[in-house]
Amino acid sequence: MASLDITKMWRDPGAPADSFYQVRPECTDVPKSKFRIKNGKTLSERKWRAAFSPEGYLDIGKTLGRIHRGGIHPSIRGEVWEFLLGCYDPKSSQAEREDIRQQRRTQYAILKEECRTMFPVIGSGRYITAPVITEDGDPILDPLVLQEAKAAKEAKEATSGSQGNGASDDYEMVKEDDKRVIEWKLSLHQIGLDVARTDRSLVFYENQENLSKLWDILSVYAWFDKDVNYCQGMSDLCSPMIILLDDEADAFWCFERLMRRLRGNFRYTESSVGVESQLNNLASVTQVIDPKLHQHLDKLGGGDYLFAVRMLMVLFRREFSFCDSLYLWEMMWALEYDPDLFLTYEDPELAADKSEESKSKAKSRQVGKFERENMKNAGKAAEAPLPISVFLVASVLKDKSDKLLTEARGLDDVVKILNDVNGNLDAKKACTGAMKLHRKYLKKAANTHR
Protein backbone atom coordinates (compact mmCIF):
# COMPACT_ATOMS: atom_id res chain seq x y z
CA MET A 1 0.00 0.00 0.00
CA ALA A 2 1.35 3.44 -0.88
CA SER A 3 2.11 5.89 1.91
CA LEU A 4 -0.61 8.20 0.55
CA ASP A 5 -3.22 5.56 1.28
CA ILE A 6 -1.89 5.18 4.81
CA THR A 7 -2.09 8.93 5.31
CA LYS A 8 -5.76 8.89 4.32
CA MET A 9 -6.39 6.01 6.67
CA TRP A 10 -4.82 7.95 9.54
CA ARG A 11 -7.55 10.53 9.22
CA ASP A 12 -10.21 8.00 10.24
CA PRO A 13 -10.83 8.71 13.95
CA GLY A 14 -12.76 5.49 14.43
CA ALA A 15 -10.06 3.11 13.18
CA PRO A 16 -8.58 0.54 15.61
CA ALA A 17 -5.13 1.53 16.87
CA ASP A 18 -3.32 -1.24 14.98
CA SER A 19 -4.76 -0.18 11.64
CA PHE A 20 -2.83 3.09 11.72
CA TYR A 21 0.42 1.14 11.35
CA GLN A 22 -0.51 -1.70 9.01
CA VAL A 23 1.45 -4.92 9.21
CA ARG A 24 2.24 -6.94 6.09
CA PRO A 25 -0.17 -9.91 5.84
CA GLU A 26 2.63 -12.49 5.76
CA CYS A 27 4.01 -11.27 9.12
CA THR A 28 1.74 -13.41 11.30
CA ASP A 29 3.99 -13.52 14.38
CA VAL A 30 3.83 -9.77 15.08
CA PRO A 31 2.26 -9.12 18.52
CA LYS A 32 -1.08 -7.36 18.59
CA SER A 33 -1.25 -3.93 20.19
CA LYS A 34 -2.80 -3.58 23.63
CA PHE A 35 -3.27 0.16 23.04
CA ARG A 36 -6.90 1.19 22.65
CA ILE A 37 -8.22 4.59 21.61
CA LYS A 38 -10.58 5.54 24.44
CA ASN A 39 -12.99 8.45 24.42
CA GLY A 40 -12.36 10.74 27.37
CA LYS A 41 -8.88 9.32 28.02
CA THR A 42 -6.90 9.37 24.76
CA LEU A 43 -5.84 12.87 23.67
CA SER A 44 -8.10 13.55 20.69
CA GLU A 45 -7.64 16.09 17.93
CA ARG A 46 -10.51 18.15 19.38
CA LYS A 47 -8.92 18.31 22.86
CA TRP A 48 -5.53 19.07 21.35
CA ARG A 49 -6.84 21.99 19.29
CA ALA A 50 -8.73 23.31 22.33
CA ALA A 51 -5.46 23.58 24.26
CA PHE A 52 -4.28 26.39 21.92
CA SER A 53 -5.18 30.06 22.22
CA PRO A 54 -6.30 31.95 19.08
CA GLU A 55 -2.68 33.14 18.63
CA GLY A 56 -1.38 29.58 18.87
CA TYR A 57 -0.01 29.56 22.42
CA LEU A 58 -0.29 26.07 23.92
CA ASP A 59 -1.45 25.28 27.44
CA ILE A 60 0.41 21.97 27.42
CA GLY A 61 -0.50 21.32 31.04
CA LYS A 62 -4.03 20.53 29.85
CA THR A 63 -2.72 17.66 27.75
CA LEU A 64 -0.02 15.99 29.88
CA GLY A 65 -2.38 14.17 32.22
CA ARG A 66 -4.56 12.98 29.35
CA ILE A 67 -1.52 11.63 27.47
CA HIS A 68 -0.42 9.79 30.61
CA ARG A 69 -3.91 8.33 31.09
CA GLY A 70 -4.67 7.33 27.53
CA GLY A 71 -1.95 8.23 25.05
CA ILE A 72 -2.34 10.27 21.86
CA HIS A 73 -4.67 9.63 18.95
CA PRO A 74 -2.49 8.47 16.02
CA SER A 75 -3.88 11.17 13.71
CA ILE A 76 -2.15 13.93 15.75
CA ARG A 77 0.71 11.96 17.26
CA GLY A 78 3.47 13.55 15.16
CA GLU A 79 2.66 17.16 15.95
CA VAL A 80 2.15 16.44 19.66
CA TRP A 81 5.50 14.66 19.80
CA GLU A 82 7.19 17.78 18.46
CA PHE A 83 6.09 19.60 21.61
CA LEU A 84 6.79 16.71 24.01
CA LEU A 85 10.35 16.42 22.67
CA GLY A 86 11.01 20.16 22.87
CA CYS A 87 11.04 21.05 19.18
CA TYR A 88 8.77 23.97 20.01
CA ASP A 89 8.15 26.11 23.06
CA PRO A 90 4.47 25.97 24.12
CA LYS A 91 4.74 29.70 24.79
CA SER A 92 5.52 30.40 21.13
CA SER A 93 2.84 31.60 18.72
CA GLN A 94 1.78 29.78 15.59
CA ALA A 95 3.61 32.37 13.46
CA GLU A 96 6.81 32.02 15.49
CA ARG A 97 6.73 28.24 15.18
CA GLU A 98 6.22 28.45 11.43
CA ASP A 99 9.29 30.68 11.14
CA ILE A 100 11.32 28.19 13.20
CA ARG A 101 10.02 25.30 11.09
CA GLN A 102 11.07 26.99 7.85
CA GLN A 103 14.50 27.86 9.26
CA ARG A 104 15.04 24.25 10.31
CA ARG A 105 13.90 22.93 6.96
CA THR A 106 16.42 25.21 5.28
CA GLN A 107 19.14 24.09 7.68
CA TYR A 108 18.37 20.44 6.99
CA ALA A 109 18.45 21.04 3.23
CA ILE A 110 21.92 22.59 3.58
CA LEU A 111 23.15 19.65 5.69
CA LYS A 112 21.71 17.13 3.25
CA GLU A 113 23.25 18.86 0.24
CA GLU A 114 26.61 18.90 2.02
CA CYS A 115 26.29 15.13 2.51
CA ARG A 116 25.11 14.59 -1.06
CA THR A 117 28.17 16.40 -2.36
CA MET A 118 30.39 13.98 -0.45
CA PHE A 119 28.34 10.93 -1.47
CA PRO A 120 25.78 11.33 -4.28
CA VAL A 121 23.45 8.50 -3.23
CA ILE A 122 22.19 10.77 -0.42
CA GLY A 123 18.83 12.19 -1.45
CA SER A 124 18.54 10.00 -4.54
CA GLY A 125 15.72 7.78 -3.33
CA ARG A 126 18.22 4.94 -2.93
CA TYR A 127 20.48 3.61 -0.19
CA ILE A 128 23.53 1.37 0.00
CA THR A 129 24.44 -1.65 2.16
CA ALA A 130 28.05 -2.24 1.00
CA PRO A 131 31.17 -0.45 2.34
CA VAL A 132 32.37 2.54 0.32
CA ILE A 133 35.71 3.30 1.99
CA THR A 134 38.47 1.66 4.04
CA GLU A 135 39.64 2.89 7.44
CA ASP A 136 42.69 4.31 5.65
CA GLY A 137 40.49 6.41 3.36
CA ASP A 138 40.92 4.31 0.23
CA PRO A 139 37.78 3.91 -1.92
CA ILE A 140 36.11 0.49 -2.16
CA LEU A 141 34.84 0.08 -5.71
CA ASP A 142 31.95 -2.22 -4.95
CA PRO A 143 29.93 -2.72 -8.17
CA LEU A 144 26.57 -2.30 -6.41
CA VAL A 145 27.63 0.95 -4.76
CA LEU A 146 29.04 2.26 -8.03
CA GLN A 147 25.80 1.38 -9.77
CA GLU A 148 23.73 3.25 -7.17
CA ALA A 149 26.07 6.25 -7.25
CA LYS A 150 26.02 6.41 -11.02
CA ALA A 151 22.22 6.21 -11.13
CA ALA A 152 22.01 8.91 -8.46
CA LYS A 153 24.31 11.27 -10.37
CA GLU A 154 22.52 10.67 -13.66
CA ALA A 155 19.17 11.36 -12.00
CA LYS A 156 20.58 14.54 -10.49
CA GLU A 157 21.92 15.69 -13.85
CA ALA A 158 18.62 14.91 -15.57
CA THR A 159 16.73 16.94 -12.97
CA SER A 160 19.09 19.91 -13.13
CA GLY A 161 19.49 19.75 -16.90
CA SER A 162 23.28 19.67 -16.66
CA GLN A 163 25.46 17.24 -18.55
CA GLY A 164 27.95 14.98 -16.84
CA ASN A 165 31.53 14.64 -17.98
CA GLY A 166 31.36 10.88 -18.24
CA ALA A 167 33.25 10.39 -14.97
CA SER A 168 30.27 9.62 -12.77
CA ASP A 169 32.41 7.49 -10.46
CA ASP A 170 35.15 10.08 -9.89
CA TYR A 171 34.03 10.71 -6.33
CA GLU A 172 35.08 7.12 -5.52
CA MET A 173 38.49 7.40 -7.11
CA VAL A 174 39.96 9.93 -4.70
CA LYS A 175 41.57 8.85 -1.44
CA GLU A 176 40.05 10.61 1.57
CA ASP A 177 42.39 12.26 4.07
CA ASP A 178 39.85 14.03 6.27
CA LYS A 179 39.37 11.85 9.36
CA ARG A 180 35.81 13.01 9.93
CA VAL A 181 34.76 12.31 6.33
CA ILE A 182 36.31 8.84 6.54
CA GLU A 183 34.46 8.09 9.78
CA TRP A 184 31.19 9.29 8.25
CA LYS A 185 31.59 7.28 5.05
CA LEU A 186 32.49 4.20 7.08
CA SER A 187 29.08 4.43 8.77
CA LEU A 188 26.96 4.65 5.59
CA HIS A 189 26.77 0.96 4.78
CA GLN A 190 25.99 0.02 8.42
CA ILE A 191 23.14 2.52 8.36
CA GLY A 192 21.92 0.87 5.16
CA LEU A 193 22.09 -2.62 6.69
CA ASP A 194 20.10 -1.45 9.72
CA VAL A 195 17.54 0.41 7.58
CA ALA A 196 16.95 -2.76 5.56
CA ARG A 197 15.84 -4.63 8.69
CA THR A 198 14.09 -1.88 10.67
CA ASP A 199 10.31 -2.33 11.09
CA ARG A 200 10.15 -4.41 7.94
CA SER A 201 6.89 -5.99 9.11
CA LEU A 202 5.17 -2.66 8.42
CA VAL A 203 3.48 -1.97 5.09
CA PHE A 204 4.97 1.53 5.24
CA TYR A 205 8.46 0.19 4.54
CA GLU A 206 7.44 -1.75 1.48
CA ASN A 207 7.94 1.62 -0.21
CA GLN A 208 11.58 2.07 -1.30
CA GLU A 209 11.22 5.83 -0.94
CA ASN A 210 10.47 5.49 2.78
CA LEU A 211 13.49 3.25 3.33
CA SER A 212 15.64 5.79 1.53
CA LYS A 213 14.23 8.61 3.63
CA LEU A 214 15.19 6.75 6.81
CA TRP A 215 18.71 6.19 5.44
CA ASP A 216 19.03 9.85 4.44
CA ILE A 217 18.02 11.14 7.88
CA LEU A 218 20.35 8.80 9.73
CA SER A 219 23.22 9.58 7.33
CA VAL A 220 22.73 13.33 7.72
CA TYR A 221 22.50 12.94 11.50
CA ALA A 222 25.77 10.97 11.51
CA TRP A 223 27.43 13.96 9.83
CA PHE A 224 25.59 16.49 12.01
CA ASP A 225 26.55 14.87 15.35
CA LYS A 226 30.32 14.49 15.02
CA ASP A 227 30.73 13.09 18.55
CA VAL A 228 28.24 10.24 18.20
CA ASN A 229 28.10 9.67 14.42
CA TYR A 230 25.90 6.57 14.01
CA CYS A 231 25.40 3.55 16.26
CA GLN A 232 23.18 0.52 15.87
CA GLY A 233 19.81 1.04 17.50
CA MET A 234 19.38 4.60 16.25
CA SER A 235 17.34 3.36 13.27
CA ASP A 236 14.76 1.96 15.72
CA LEU A 237 14.48 5.38 17.37
CA CYS A 238 14.24 7.28 14.09
CA SER A 239 11.77 5.04 12.26
CA PRO A 240 8.61 6.31 14.03
CA MET A 241 9.54 9.91 13.17
CA ILE A 242 9.51 9.05 9.45
CA ILE A 243 6.09 7.46 9.77
CA LEU A 244 4.49 10.19 11.89
CA LEU A 245 5.82 13.32 10.19
CA ASP A 246 5.29 13.86 6.47
CA ASP A 247 8.18 16.28 5.96
CA GLU A 248 11.65 14.72 6.07
CA ALA A 249 13.22 17.78 7.68
CA ASP A 250 10.59 17.84 10.44
CA ALA A 251 11.25 14.14 11.09
CA PHE A 252 15.00 14.83 11.27
CA TRP A 253 14.67 17.57 13.90
CA CYS A 254 12.21 15.51 15.94
CA PHE A 255 14.73 12.66 15.93
CA GLU A 256 17.52 15.11 16.82
CA ARG A 257 15.55 16.24 19.89
CA LEU A 258 15.04 12.65 20.97
CA MET A 259 18.77 12.04 20.55
CA ARG A 260 19.50 14.97 22.85
CA ARG A 261 17.95 12.84 25.57
CA LEU A 262 19.58 9.59 24.56
CA ARG A 263 22.86 10.40 22.80
CA GLY A 264 24.80 9.77 26.02
CA ASN A 265 23.85 6.09 25.67
CA PHE A 266 25.56 5.96 22.27
CA ARG A 267 28.80 7.67 23.24
CA TYR A 268 31.83 5.41 23.30
CA THR A 269 35.30 6.23 24.57
CA GLU A 270 38.42 4.13 25.10
CA SER A 271 37.51 3.69 28.76
CA SER A 272 33.71 3.55 28.84
CA VAL A 273 30.53 2.63 27.00
CA GLY A 274 27.86 5.31 26.90
CA VAL A 275 25.00 3.23 28.26
CA GLU A 276 27.19 2.07 31.14
CA SER A 277 26.07 4.91 33.38
CA GLN A 278 22.43 3.96 32.81
CA LEU A 279 23.22 0.36 33.70
CA ASN A 280 24.93 1.55 36.88
CA ASN A 281 21.82 3.58 37.71
CA LEU A 282 19.65 0.52 37.11
CA ALA A 283 21.85 -1.52 39.45
CA SER A 284 21.57 1.17 42.14
CA VAL A 285 17.79 1.36 41.81
CA THR A 286 17.36 -2.43 41.94
CA GLN A 287 19.68 -2.67 44.93
CA VAL A 288 17.49 -0.17 46.79
CA ILE A 289 14.04 -1.48 45.87
CA ASP A 290 14.78 -5.22 45.60
CA PRO A 291 18.11 -6.02 47.29
CA LYS A 292 17.46 -9.78 47.21
CA LEU A 293 17.07 -9.75 43.42
CA HIS A 294 20.14 -7.56 42.97
CA GLN A 295 22.21 -9.92 45.10
CA HIS A 296 20.97 -12.91 43.08
CA LEU A 297 21.77 -11.25 39.74
CA ASP A 298 25.20 -10.25 41.02
CA LYS A 299 25.86 -13.82 42.14
CA LEU A 300 25.01 -15.05 38.62
CA GLY A 301 27.53 -12.62 37.14
CA GLY A 302 24.86 -10.17 36.00
CA GLY A 303 25.68 -7.37 38.41
CA ASP A 304 26.70 -5.19 35.46
CA TYR A 305 23.11 -5.50 34.10
CA LEU A 306 24.34 -5.85 30.52
CA PHE A 307 21.26 -7.96 29.78
CA ALA A 308 19.23 -4.73 29.95
CA VAL A 309 21.27 -2.82 27.34
CA ARG A 310 18.73 -3.21 24.54
CA MET A 311 15.80 -2.02 26.66
CA LEU A 312 17.63 1.19 27.55
CA MET A 313 19.24 1.82 24.17
CA VAL A 314 16.08 1.64 22.04
CA LEU A 315 13.45 2.33 24.71
CA PHE A 316 11.66 -1.02 24.59
CA ARG A 317 11.14 -1.02 20.83
CA ARG A 318 11.77 -4.78 20.75
CA GLU A 319 9.72 -5.61 23.85
CA PHE A 320 6.49 -4.01 22.60
CA SER A 321 4.52 -4.02 19.38
CA PHE A 322 5.21 -0.99 17.17
CA CYS A 323 1.99 0.74 18.21
CA ASP A 324 2.51 0.03 21.92
CA SER A 325 6.10 1.28 21.85
CA LEU A 326 4.87 4.65 20.57
CA TYR A 327 2.22 4.67 23.31
CA LEU A 328 4.91 3.92 25.91
CA TRP A 329 7.21 6.67 24.62
CA GLU A 330 4.58 9.39 24.71
CA MET A 331 3.51 8.42 28.22
CA MET A 332 7.15 8.58 29.32
CA TRP A 333 7.67 11.98 27.73
CA ALA A 334 4.45 13.36 29.21
CA LEU A 335 5.47 12.15 32.67
CA GLU A 336 8.99 13.61 32.30
CA TYR A 337 7.90 16.80 30.57
CA ASP A 338 9.59 20.04 31.57
CA PRO A 339 9.74 22.97 29.09
CA ASP A 340 13.43 23.40 29.94
CA LEU A 341 14.36 19.77 30.53
CA PHE A 342 15.74 18.96 27.08
CA LEU A 343 18.54 21.48 27.68
CA THR A 344 19.78 19.57 30.71
CA TYR A 345 20.62 16.47 28.67
CA GLU A 346 23.47 18.41 27.12
CA ASP A 347 24.77 19.68 30.48
CA PRO A 348 24.65 17.37 33.54
CA GLU A 349 25.35 20.31 35.82
CA LEU A 350 22.10 21.89 34.71
CA ALA A 351 20.26 18.66 35.50
CA ALA A 352 21.72 18.66 39.01
CA ASP A 353 20.92 22.33 39.64
CA LYS A 354 17.47 22.35 41.23
CA SER A 355 16.96 25.92 42.35
CA GLU A 356 14.06 27.45 44.30
CA GLU A 357 12.64 28.50 40.93
CA SER A 358 12.53 24.88 39.77
CA LYS A 359 10.88 23.82 43.02
CA SER A 360 8.10 26.33 42.48
CA LYS A 361 7.74 25.06 38.93
CA ALA A 362 6.94 21.64 40.41
CA LYS A 363 3.55 23.03 41.36
CA SER A 364 2.86 24.07 37.78
CA ARG A 365 0.57 22.13 35.46
CA GLN A 366 3.21 22.59 32.77
CA VAL A 367 5.42 19.90 34.29
CA GLY A 368 4.90 16.14 34.01
CA LYS A 369 4.07 14.01 37.04
CA PHE A 370 7.41 12.19 37.10
CA GLU A 371 9.39 15.41 36.79
CA ARG A 372 7.24 17.03 39.48
CA GLU A 373 8.26 14.28 41.90
CA ASN A 374 11.93 14.87 41.05
CA MET A 375 11.56 18.59 41.64
CA LYS A 376 9.88 18.05 45.01
CA ASN A 377 12.77 15.79 45.95
CA ALA A 378 15.42 18.30 44.84
CA GLY A 379 18.13 18.69 47.43
CA LYS A 380 17.07 15.60 49.42
CA ALA A 381 19.15 13.17 47.35
CA ALA A 382 22.81 13.41 46.46
CA GLU A 383 22.43 12.28 42.85
CA ALA A 384 20.91 14.02 39.84
CA PRO A 385 17.43 12.78 38.87
CA LEU A 386 17.30 9.55 36.89
CA PRO A 387 15.26 9.15 33.69
CA ILE A 388 12.01 7.21 33.82
CA SER A 389 13.46 4.60 31.42
CA VAL A 390 15.63 3.27 34.26
CA PHE A 391 12.56 2.73 36.42
CA LEU A 392 10.71 1.10 33.53
CA VAL A 393 13.43 -1.54 33.25
CA ALA A 394 13.48 -1.86 37.03
CA SER A 395 9.71 -2.43 37.02
CA VAL A 396 10.11 -5.26 34.48
CA LEU A 397 12.78 -6.86 36.68
CA LYS A 398 10.57 -6.41 39.74
CA ASP A 399 7.63 -8.01 37.94
CA LYS A 400 9.80 -11.00 37.01
CA SER A 401 11.59 -11.08 40.36
CA ASP A 402 10.05 -14.34 41.63
CA LYS A 403 10.76 -16.13 38.37
CA LEU A 404 14.31 -14.81 38.23
CA LEU A 405 14.98 -15.85 41.84
CA THR A 406 13.58 -19.36 41.49
CA GLU A 407 14.46 -20.31 37.89
CA ALA A 408 17.57 -18.36 36.88
CA ARG A 409 20.71 -20.43 37.45
CA GLY A 410 22.86 -18.50 35.01
CA LEU A 411 22.89 -15.44 32.78
CA ASP A 412 21.38 -17.41 29.91
CA ASP A 413 18.34 -18.07 32.10
CA VAL A 414 18.07 -14.37 32.94
CA VAL A 415 18.12 -13.44 29.26
CA LYS A 416 15.55 -16.14 28.41
CA ILE A 417 13.15 -15.04 31.15
CA LEU A 418 13.40 -11.40 30.08
CA ASN A 419 13.00 -12.33 26.40
CA ASP A 420 9.70 -13.97 27.29
CA VAL A 421 8.25 -10.50 27.99
CA ASN A 422 8.62 -9.52 24.31
CA GLY A 423 5.19 -8.67 22.97
CA ASN A 424 3.54 -9.49 26.29
CA LEU A 425 4.15 -6.28 28.21
CA ASP A 426 1.41 -3.75 28.87
CA ALA A 427 2.70 -0.19 28.32
CA LYS A 428 0.27 1.45 30.77
CA LYS A 429 1.04 -1.07 33.52
CA ALA A 430 4.77 -0.68 32.88
CA CYS A 431 4.52 3.10 33.32
CA THR A 432 2.39 2.74 36.45
CA GLY A 433 4.90 0.28 37.87
CA ALA A 434 7.78 2.62 37.04
CA MET A 435 6.08 5.51 38.84
CA LYS A 436 5.53 3.40 41.97
CA LEU A 437 9.16 2.31 42.02
CA HIS A 438 10.27 5.90 41.43
CA ARG A 439 8.38 7.10 44.50
CA LYS A 440 9.72 4.20 46.56
CA TYR A 441 13.27 4.88 45.40
CA LEU A 442 13.06 8.62 46.12
CA LYS A 443 11.74 7.93 49.61
CA LYS A 444 14.48 5.42 50.44
CA ALA A 445 17.20 7.51 48.83
CA ALA A 446 16.10 10.58 50.80
CA ASN A 447 16.15 8.61 54.06
CA THR A 448 19.62 7.26 53.23
CA HIS A 449 21.08 10.75 52.71
CA ARG A 450 19.62 12.35 55.82
Average pLDDT, integer, range 222-242: 96
- Look at residue 169 and tell me whether its pLDDT is greater than 60: no
Confirm if 212 and 126 have CB atoms less than 8 A apart: yes
CA atoms within 13 A on the CB side of 146: 11
- In 161-303, alpha helices (H): 170-173, 179-195, 208-224, 234-244, 248-262, 276-289, 291-299
Question: Would you state the pLDDT for residue 119?
Answer: 93
pTM here is 0.88
The CA-based angle 373-375-376, given to 5 degrees, is 65
Which residues 6+ apart lie within 8 Å of 193 measured at CB?
Answer: 129
Q: What are the structural domains of the chain?
A: 94-266 (1.10.8.270), 276-448 (1.10.472)
Cα→Cα distances 444→136, 274, 327, 410, 447, Å: 53, 27, 30, 30, 5
**pLDDT 10s digits, 99-109:** 999 999 999 99
SS3 2: coil
Average pLDDT, integer, range 134-160: 79
SS3 317: coil
Kindly report the number of other CB atoms within 10 A of residue 339's CB atom. 16
Provide, rounded to the nearest whole percent, the portion of the chain with pLDDT above 90: 66
The CA-based angle 246-4-108, given to 5 degrees, is 20
Average pLDDT, integer, range 59-73: 94
- Look at residue 9 and tell me whether its pLDDT is greater than 50: no
- Look at residue 404 and tell me whether its pLDDT is greater than 90: yes
Confirm if 54 and 68 have CB atoms less than 8 A apart: no
Cα→Cα distances 209→137, 212, 213, 214, 364, Å: 30, 5, 6, 9, 44
Of 141, 155, 149, 154, whose CA–CA distance to 120 is shortest?
149
Strand partners, 72: 43
- Look at residue 274 and tell me whether its pLDDT is greater than 90: no
Choice among 31-40, 104-113, 329-338, 403-412 with the minimum mean pLDDT: 31-40
Mean pLDDT of the chain: 86
- Look at residue 85 and tell me whether its pLDDT is greater than 80: yes
